[in-house]
Amino acid sequence: MKKTNNFLGDIFQAIADILNGAERSFLDLLSVIVPYAVPIIPAYLTYFHTLNEMAFPNWVAWTAAFVTEVLGITAVSTAIRFWRNNAMYKSEKERAPFWLAVGVYVFYIVVVLAVNVILEIVAQERTGWVIFAIGLFSLLSFPSGVLISIRAQYTEMLEDRQERKANRPGMRPAYNSDTKQEGLKGDENKFRKP
């Protein structure tokens, strides 16, 4: 950036830098929080249908809503982790049961659509488009689980990258072989590439 002698321009640039940094941080915060809040919608639908259509006790309906959505998110997340593992490791010994995790998610889909969509069709209280929208809301755990999983994996990749940088082989203390090392102070923590 070009240095100016404009006092007001410098102030406005400083404010813009602060706001841009805050915007990135706020977006990152939302990216972390929202995927965990998304399942509230299908959880409520499951709660409503198990309570009203299936006549479950209130506490069982809440439990059904919670465990069903956690099952959906964790099944997607686990499947993505297993897929990544299997892409990295080709030997059968190191492969994860990816298709088993996908099967668990498919089972979740069957349950959530049966409870939230089929029961709506049977009750015949809403129009077809409303039931379609309920079906879409019921599937929100998929993108939510994908976002949670890929963000967690990206964080792990960044941590691995930082660890590899910190532990690069071949790094040695920086010193001049022509100089007596005893007389040098403060060079103990400096490193240079060989």
Examine residue 30 and state whether it is found in any structural domain, yes or no.
no
Phi–psi pair at 28, nearest 5 degrees:
-65, -40
**Is the entire prediction scored with pTM above 0.95?**
no
| Mean pLDDT, residues 5-29 | 88
Predicted pLDDT at 2: 58
Structural domain count, the chain: 1
Examine residue 9 and state whether it is found in any structural domain, yes or no.
no
162-to-85, 94, 107, 125 alpha-carbon distances in Å = 20, 25, 39, 56
Q: What is the chain's length?
A: 194
Predicted pLDDT at 182: 55
Examine residue 77 and state whether it is found in any structural domain, yes or no.
yes
Examine residue 113 and state whether it is found in any structural domain, yes or no.
yes
Examine residue 152 and state whether it is found in any structural domain, yes or no.
yes
Examine residue 120 and state whether it is found in any structural domain, yes or no.
yes
Q: Which domain holds residue 96?
A: 40-160
Rounded Cα distance between 58 and 44, Å, is 12
Give the Cβ contact number of residue 25 at 10 Å. Answer: 10
| Mean pLDDT, residues 74-85 | 92
- For 83-99, b where at least 16 C-beta lie within 10 A, e where not — what string? bbeeeeeeeeeeebebe
pLDDT in tens, 90-136: 898 999 999 999 999 999 999 999 999 999 999 999 999 999 999 99
> DSSP alpha helices (H): ranges in 38-140?
40-52, 58-88, 98-113, 119-123, 128-138
Examine residue 82 and state whether it is found in any structural domain, yes or no.
yes
Rounded Cα distance between 46 and 116, Å, is 6
